[in-house]
Structure 1
Amino acid sequence: MTKRTSAKYKIDRRMGENIWGRPKSPVNRREYGPGQHGQRRKGKLSDFGVQLRAKQKLKGYYGDITEKQFRRIYAEAERLRGDTGDLLIGLLERRLDAVVYRAKFVPTIFAARQFVNHGHVTVNGRRVNIPSYRVKEGDVVAVKEKSRQLELVMAAAESSERDVPDYLEVDHSKMTASFVRTPSLGDVPYPVQMEPNLVVEFYAKN
Structure 2
Amino acid sequence: MSKRLASKHKIDRRMGQNIWGRPKSPVNRREYGPGQHGQRRKGKISDFGTQLRAKQKLKGYYGNITEKQFVKIYKEAIRLKGDSAENLIGLLERRLDAVVYRAKFVPTVFAARQFVNHGHVKVNGRRVNIPSYRVRPGDVIEVKEASKQLEIVVVASQLAERDVPDYIDVDHGKMTATYTRVPTLSDVPYPVQMEPNLVVEFYSR
TM-score normalised by length of structure 1: 0.97
Matched position secondary structure for 1:78 = helix
Confirm whether residue 9 of structure 1 aligns to residue 9 of structure 2.
yes
* Coordinate RMSD, CA, aligned: 1.2
Shift of 1:3: 5.4
Corresponding residue number in structure 2 for 1:44 = 44
CA distance in 2 between counterparts of 1:5 and 1:103 reads 20
Corresponding residue number in structure 2 for 1:199 = 199
Corresponding residue number in structure 1 for 2:117 = 117
Tell which deviates more after alignment, 178-187 or 6-15: 6-15
TM-score normalised by length of structure 2: 0.98
Q: How do 1:135-154 and structure 2 match up within 5 A?
A: 135-154=135-154
Matched position secondary structure for 1:178 = strand
Corresponding residue number in structure 2 for 1:32 = 32
Q: For residues 83-123 of structure 1, what are the alpha-carbon distances to aligned partners after superposition, in whole Å with 9 as ceiling and x for unaligned?
A: 00000000000000000000000000000000000000000
Q: How do 1:156-171 and structure 2 match up within 5 A?
A: 156-171=156-171
Q: Contact 2:121–2:129 at 8 Å: present in 1 too? A: yes
CA distance in 2 between counterparts of 1:7 and 1:138 reads 33
Shift of 1:6: 5.3
Shift of 1:5: 6.5
Q: Contact 1:140–1:177 at 8 Å: present in 2 too? A: yes
Q: Contact 2:9–2:26 at 8 Å: present in 1 too? A: yes
Shift of 1:40: 1.7
Tell which deviates more after alignment, 122-131 or 29-38: 29-38
Q: For residues 124-143 of structure 1, what are the alpha-carbon distances to aligned partners after superposition, in whole Å with 9 as ceiling and x for unaligned?
A: 00000000000001000000
**Letter of the aligned partner of 1:118 in structure 2?**
H
Q: Contact 2:14–2:34 at 8 Å: present in 1 too? A: yes
| Percent identical residues | 79
Matched position secondary structure for 2:44 = coil
CA distance in 2 between counterparts of 1:6 and 1:162 reads 21
**Letter of the aligned partner of 2:175 in structure 1?**
M
CA distance in 2 between counterparts of 1:196 and 1:51 reads 9
Residues 111 and 156 (structure 1 numbering): CA distance in 2 closer, same or farther, change over 3 Å? same
Confirm whether residue 66 of structure 1 aligns to residue 66 of structure 2.
yes
Confirm whether residue 130 of structure 1 aligns to residue 130 of structure 2.
yes
Shift of 1:21: 0.5
**Letter of the aligned partner of 1:82 in structure 2?**
G
Residues 130 and 3 (structure 1 numbering): CA distance in 2 closer, same or farther, change over 3 Å? farther
CA distance in 2 between counterparts of 1:154 and 1:199 reads 36
**Letter of the aligned partner of 2:23 in structure 1?**
P
CA distance in 2 between counterparts of 1:179 and 1:2 reads 28
Any runs of at least 4 consecutive aligned residues in structure 1 with deviations exceeding 2 A, and if so which? none
CA distance in 1 between counterparts of 2:61 and 2:121 reads 21
